[in-house]
């Protein structure tokens, strides 16, 4: 038996486009002589469709896509994920299902059992869990069809669920497992994925074909990395990350279990490639092509500009340099150095006169009051206004350049430097931004050395440095990581050896600035716990405030 894995980039709600991709993959699978071609979870409609699932018309269009795919499921079987109707009047109206199409019709449907409702997932909002489990027989082979989370309760010391679907399916003695998935990327997930699939095949003694999405859906990145794992736990093949890929496999070859092809998993390389894909898909799927951002000469905006140029092409990236009376000469020089290296379009608008005009109007109201963060924020908001003006006039999407460390502690100005349609490095701590810069410069100097080595500064007052307001980032970031990613409380972090007063100050800053994060652009998710839909913290909570 020959099986094709089609690792594709779907577009939520683009039924015509998604179906066309699958039809082309079916054609390629037929040419390769495959018996089965496999697509991923909710492939007809894209993942996650969220509240689109509440529209009857949306489900009707998905049903029409399935009907069309059935017409191509002749001389080949098609495995595809799609929503299905719950005909029982009790429970949710939909299942998250995997379909087996053959001989021009729907031969079998297996519903998803384990519905994740944590972090970015909210599937129990829409779907009813499966209550029965069977296998499908095709060309003399019994196949266990599973959907994403249904395999993730195996190989863990902390199970989330009370039932394991594959335990039920093993009663029918399947020959192999097909798992259709939409498993979002984070920099540690690829290793976890292999561990989970390997734990399943070793538990049941049969191989698995694991098909994952690739591509980005707003803030969620899907890295692909689809797997074929032999029954002895050997990774027969691991498909590429962040690209569409169609591969054909002989079941007999997989059963030999005599080869291993795992990809390298470098954290910073994965973050780099994931962000580039995320920018590219965000623009492509929204129908935009050009980006704009403010370029300060610092490392955050420099890294963002490089990632944007690599995603969209340098001809589609425009930067705005907006020096104030507090900007140093080398900041403009460093920014221009990067502009010339990348070959991107730039404009320079000094903001002193604009800032002075604001201060002239406000001075009667501010009379006798000292210069403070208010005046600093006015500068940031002037820059935000100029960026947004060019964005509106020329149809460019403004990219936000704030890193995760700054976003965590509120070191940013609403309607100023927090403006933007997409937060590029908002899930990348400052220390990781330096690692990204080093990765970008590994073959040649792209980001100017001075942008990397100079002390970080917002340059909103004379001689300002980030360290005037914040701990050094190599101290701050580990505390933030323990609180945000690891969900450790203050005493837990203090017990790790951190200064108690510093820990309480940092955690309080994180909590009191939640209101800012609720108003900022969607953040490309690269970590296990990003700001956005996967982190739901009350704005008015008293905890640590």
CATH number, residue 43? 3.60.110.10
pLDDT higher than threshold 90 for residue 279 = yes
Q: What is the pLDDT of residue 328?
A: 66
CB-based contact 246:28 (threshold 8 Å) = yes
Q: What is the mean pLDDT of residues 504-515?
A: 96
The token duo for 420 is 């933007």
Both 6 and 68 in a single domain? yes
Question: What's residue 459's pLDDT?
Answer: 64
Note down the domain range covering 8. Answer: 2-265
* Domain match, 285 and 171 both: no
Q: Which residues are catalytic?
A: 41, 112, 148
Contacts by 487-495 with C-beta closer than 8 Å and gap 24+? 487/529, 490/544
Q: Which of 457, 492, 523 is the last residue of a domain?
A: 457
Check residue 182 and give its pLDDT: 98
Co-location of 102 and 233 in the same domain: yes
Strand 136-138 and strand 141-147: pairing? antiparallel
**Co-location of 259 and 290 in the same domain:** no
Residue 149 and residue 96 share a domain: yes
Name 320's bridge partners. Answer: 294, 347
Residue 346: Cβ within 10 Å count:
17
Question: What pLDDT digit, counting tens, does each position of 366-387 carry?
Answer: 999 999 999 999 999 999 999 9
Is the pLDDT assigned to residue 463 strictly greater than 80? no
Distant-in-sequence contacts of 128-135, Cβ < 8 A, 24+ apart: 128/86, 128/88, 128/91, 128/92, 128/93, 128/94, 128/95, 130/95, 130/165, 133/165, 133/168, 133/169, 134/108, 134/110, 134/169, 134/172, 135/169, 135/172, 135/174
Q: Is residue 356 part of a domain?
A: yes
Q: Region of 104 please: left (phi>0), alpha (psi -120 to 50) or beta.
A: left
Answer yes or no: is pLDDT of 288 > 90.
yes
pLDDT of residue 466: 72
Tell me: pLDDT of 460 over 70. no
> How many secondary structure helices (H) and strands (E) does the chain include?
17, 19
* Helix, strand or coil, per DSSP, at residue 394: helix
Is residue 498 within 8 Å of 399, Cβ to Cβ? no
Residue 86 lies in a domain: yes
Q: How confident is the model at residue 454 (pLDDT cuts 50, 70, 90)?
A: confident
Residue 545 has pLDDT above 80, yes or no: no
Per-residue confidence (pLDDT) for residue 479, from 0 to 100: 98
Tokens standing for residue 184: 């979002």
Q: What is the mean pLDDT of residues 221-232?
A: 98
Query: Of 413, 437, 457, which closes a domain?
Result: 457
What's residue 221's pLDDT? 98
- Residue 306 CA to residue 527 CA, distance in Å, equals 20
Q: 518 lies in a domain?
A: no
Report d(CA 300, CA 452) in Å as an integer: 9
Query: 66 lies in a domain?
Result: yes
CA atoms in the 13 A half-sphere facing the CB of 332: 13
Report yes or no: 120 and 216 within 8 Å, Cβ to Cβ: no
The answer for residues whose C-beta is within 8 angstroms of residue 329's C-beta and 6 or more apart is: none
**Domain annotation covers residue 525:** no
Q: Could you tell me if residue 543 is inside a domain?
A: no
State mean pLDDT over 463-478.
85
Confidence category of residue 398, pLDDT binned at 50, 70, 90: very high
User: Same domain, yes or no, for 283 and 379?
Assistant: yes
Q: Which residues lie below 8 Å from residue 445, measured CB to CB, with a gap of 6+? A: 341
Average pLDDT of the residues in 100-121: 97
Q: Check whether residue 213 and residue 320 sit in a common domain.
A: no
Q: Are residues 328 and 446 in the same domain?
A: yes
The answer, yes or no, to whether residue 439 has pLDDT greater than 70, is yes
Q: How many CB atoms lie within 10 A of CB 112?
A: 26
Reported confidence tier of residue 456, pLDDT bands at 50, 70, 90 = confident
Q: Which residue has the tokens 């005493």?
A: 491
* Window from 25-29, 158-162, 455-459 with minimum mean pLDDT: 455-459
Query: Is 482 domain-assigned?
Result: no
Is residue 502 scored above 80 in pLDDT?
yes
What pLDDT score was predicted for residue 92? Answer: 96
Distances (CA, A) of 370 to 366, 367, 373, 376, 379: 8, 9, 10, 12, 16
Residue 70 lies in a domain: yes
DSSP string, 396-436: PEEEE---HHHHHHT-S-TTTTT--SEESSTTS-HHHHHHH
Look up the CATH number of the domain holding residue 318. Answer: 3.40.50.620
Question: For residue 430, what pLDDT is reported?
Answer: 97
* Residue recorded with tokens 């206004």: 385
Element (H, E) at 205: none
139, 275: one domain: no
Domain boundary among 242, 265, 288: 265
Q: Is 107 exposed, middle or buried (0-12, 13-18, 19+ CB in 10 A)?
A: middle
Among candidates 409, 415, 383, which has minimal Cα distance to 298? 383
pLDDT at residue 299, as a whole number? 97
| Overall average pLDDT of the 462-488 stretch | 89
In this prediction, residue 458 has a pLDDT band, given cuts at 50, 70 and 90, of low
| Mean pLDDT score, 142-154 | 97
User: What confidence tier does 461 reach under pLDDT thresholds 50, 70, 90?
Assistant: low
Sorting pLDDT into bands at 50, 70 and 90, what band is 330? confident
Specify the number of domains making up the chain: 2
Residues 427 and 302 in one domain: yes
Considering the domain architecture, whether residues 348 and 431 belong to the same structural domain is answered as yes
- Predicted confidence (pLDDT) at residue 457 exceeds the cutoff of 80: no
Same domain, 284 and 391: yes
What is the average pLDDT across 352-365?
A: 96
Query: In the chain, helix, strand, coil percent, each to 5?
Result: 40, 20, 40
């Amino acid at each position: 038996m020959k099986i094709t894995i089609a690792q594709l980039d779907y577009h939520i709600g683009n039924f015509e486009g998604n179906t066309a991709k699958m039809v082309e993959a079916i054609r390629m699978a037929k040419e390769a002589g495959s018996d089965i071609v496999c697509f991923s979870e909710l492939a007809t409609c894209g993942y996650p469709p969220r509240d689109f699932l509440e529209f009857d018309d949306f489900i009707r269009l998905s049903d029409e896509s399935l009907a069309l795919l059935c017409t191509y499921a002749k001389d080949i079987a098609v495995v595809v994920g799609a929503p299905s109707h719950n005909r029982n009047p009790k429970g949710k109206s939909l299942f998250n299902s995997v379909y087996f199409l053959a001989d021009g019709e729907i031969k079998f449907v297996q519903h998803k059992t384990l519905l994740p409702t944590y972090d970015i997932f909210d599937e129990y909002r829409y779907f009813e869990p499966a209550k029965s489990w069977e296998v499908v027989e095709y060309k003399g082979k019994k196949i266990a069809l599973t959907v994403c989370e249904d395999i993730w309760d195996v190989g863990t010391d902390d199970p989330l669920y009370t039932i394991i679907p594959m335990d039920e399916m093993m009663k029918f003695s399947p020959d192999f497992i097909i798992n259709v998935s939409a498993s979002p990327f984070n920099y540690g997930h690829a290793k976890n994925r292999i561990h989970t699939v390997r734990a399943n095949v070793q538990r049941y003694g049969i191989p698995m074909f694991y098909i994952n999405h690739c591509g980005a859906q707003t803030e969620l990145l899907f890295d692909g990395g689809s797997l074929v794992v032999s029954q002895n736990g050997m990774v027969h093949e691991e498909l590429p990350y962040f690209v569409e890929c169609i591969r054909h496999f002989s079941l007999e070859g997989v059963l030999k279990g005599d080869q291993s092809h795992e990809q390298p998993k470098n954290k910073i390389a994965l973050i780099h490639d994931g962000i580039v894909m995320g920018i590219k898909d965000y623009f492509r799927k929204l129908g935009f092509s050009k980006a704009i951002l403010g370029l300060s000469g610092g490392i955050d905006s420099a890294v963002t500009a490089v990632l944007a140029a690599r995603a969209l092409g340098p001809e589609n990236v425009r930067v705005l340099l907006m020096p104030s009376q507090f900007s140093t000469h080398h900041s403009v020089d460093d920014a221009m150095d990067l502009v010339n290296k990348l070959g991107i379009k730039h404009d320079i608008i000094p903001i002193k006169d604009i800032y002075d005009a604001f201060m002239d109007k406000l001075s009667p109201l501010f009379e006798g009051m000292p210069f403070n963060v208010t005046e600093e924020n006015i500068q940031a908001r002037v820059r935000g206004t100029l960026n947004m003006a060019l964005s509106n006039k020329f149809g460019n999407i403004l990219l936000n350049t704030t890193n995760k460390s700054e976003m965590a502690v509120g070191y940013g100005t609403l309607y100023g430097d927090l403006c933007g349609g997409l937060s590029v490095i908002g899930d990348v701590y400052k220390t990781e931004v330096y690692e990204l810069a080093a990765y970008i410069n590994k073959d040649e100097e792209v980001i100017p050395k001075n942008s990397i080595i100079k002390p970080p500064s917002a340059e909103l007052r004379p001689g300002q440095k980030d360290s005037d307001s914040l701990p050094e980032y190599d101290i701050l970031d580990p505390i933030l990581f323990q609180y945000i990613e690891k969900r450790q409380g203050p005493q837990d972090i203090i017990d790790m050896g951190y200064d108690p007063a510093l820990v309480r100050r940092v955690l309080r800053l994180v909590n009191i600035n939640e209101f800012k994060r609720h108003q900022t652009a969607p953040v490309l998710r690269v970590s296990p716990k990003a700001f956005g839909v996967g982190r739901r913290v009350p704005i008015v909570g008293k905890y640590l405030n």
